[in-house]
């Protein structure tokens, strides 16, 4: 039987806290066939659409987004944790299960009207992706799609992003946390 992207993802129990089933994509990235499959499937729904840039969310979104940008012959823009970008930035707060965090983008990374594909490895509550979308839109660009390897539907991220009018694409889903 042919492998799917989900078959390449390892689950680690009780990481980073007891009761969490951590979905580890490093095993997917380490396998050449699995990694290519994931990149091809992430970009497939957007092939032929006018896209100007790929934006990746820190940190695994950089790995995926860089590969997708390369495949589409587009530029790549990182959204990073606060204090990691060297130039002038704009920032966006967001809520985590255990507090708040801030992400930033260079204030000249996107131009008004540019069409952007947002990439990350995992969609859980949608907080990081929502913050990324807000940053992109504050620069005047438009998010044409949000693509993830994994969706954790019980945490509601997909519903949150779709309620914002976003097109959400995920390669696989896992039940639970």
User: Is 11 contained in some domain?
Assistant: no
The token duo for 14 is 């009780």
User: 75: how many CB neighbours lie within 10 A of its CB?
Assistant: 13
pLDDT in tens, 63-122: 999 999 999 999 999 999 999 999 999 999 998 777 899 999 999 999 999 999 999 999
The residue from 10, 33, 58, 60 that is catalytic is: 60
User: Is 53 contained in some domain?
Assistant: yes
User: Is 34 contained in some domain?
Assistant: no
User: Is 15 contained in some domain?
Assistant: no
Whole-angstrom distance, CA of residue 128 vs CA of residue 104: 11
The residue from 10, 36, 97, 154 that is catalytic is: 97
Q: Is 130 part of the annotated catalytic residue set?
A: no
User: Is 64 contained in some domain?
Assistant: yes
* Burial class (CB within 10 angstroms; exposed 0-12, middle 13-18, buried 19+) of 20: middle
Residue with tokens 């807000």: 134
Range of the domain at 112: 49-173
User: Is 5 contained in some domain?
Assistant: no
User: Is 155 contained in some domain?
Assistant: yes
The share of the chain scoring above pLDDT 70, in percent, equals: 99
**Number of domain units in the chain:** 1
Q: Is 97 part of the annotated catalytic residue set?
A: yes
Average pLDDT, the chain: 96
pTM of the complete model: 0.96
Residue 93, beta-bridge partner list: 102
The CATH number that applies at residue 154 is: 3.40.50.2020
Categorize the per-residue pLDDT at 177 as very low, low, confident or very high, splitting at 50, 70 and 90. Answer: low
Radius of gyration in angstroms for the set of CA atoms belonging to the chain, rounded to a whole number: 16
Q: Where are the alpha helices (DSSP H) in 100-172?
A: 127-138, 157-163
Secondary structure class of 43 (helix, strand, coil) = helix
User: Is 31 contained in some domain?
Assistant: no
């Amino acid at each position: 039987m042919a492998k799917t992207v989900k078959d390449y993802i390892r689950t680690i129990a009780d990481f980073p806290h007891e009761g969490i089933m951590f979905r580890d994509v490093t095993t997917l990235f380490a396998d050449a066939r699995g990694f290519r499959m994931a990149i091809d499937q992430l970009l497939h729904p957007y092939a032929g659409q006018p896209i100007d840039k790929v934006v990746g969310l820190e940190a695994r979104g950089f790995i995926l987004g860089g590969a997708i940008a390369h495949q589409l012959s587009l530029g790549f823009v990182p959204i990073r944790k606060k204090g990691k970008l060297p130039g002038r930035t704009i920032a966006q707060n967001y809520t985590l299960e255990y507090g708040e965090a801030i992400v930033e983008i260079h204030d000249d990374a996107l131009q008004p009207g540019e069409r952007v594909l947002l990439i990350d490895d995992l969609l859980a509550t949608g907080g990081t992706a929502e913050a990324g979308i807000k940053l992109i839109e504050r620069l005047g660009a438009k998010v044409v799609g949000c693509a993830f390897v994994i969706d954790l539907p019980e945490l509601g991220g997909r519903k949150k992003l779709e309620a914002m009018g976003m097109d959400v694409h995920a390669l696989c889903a896992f039940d639970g946390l």
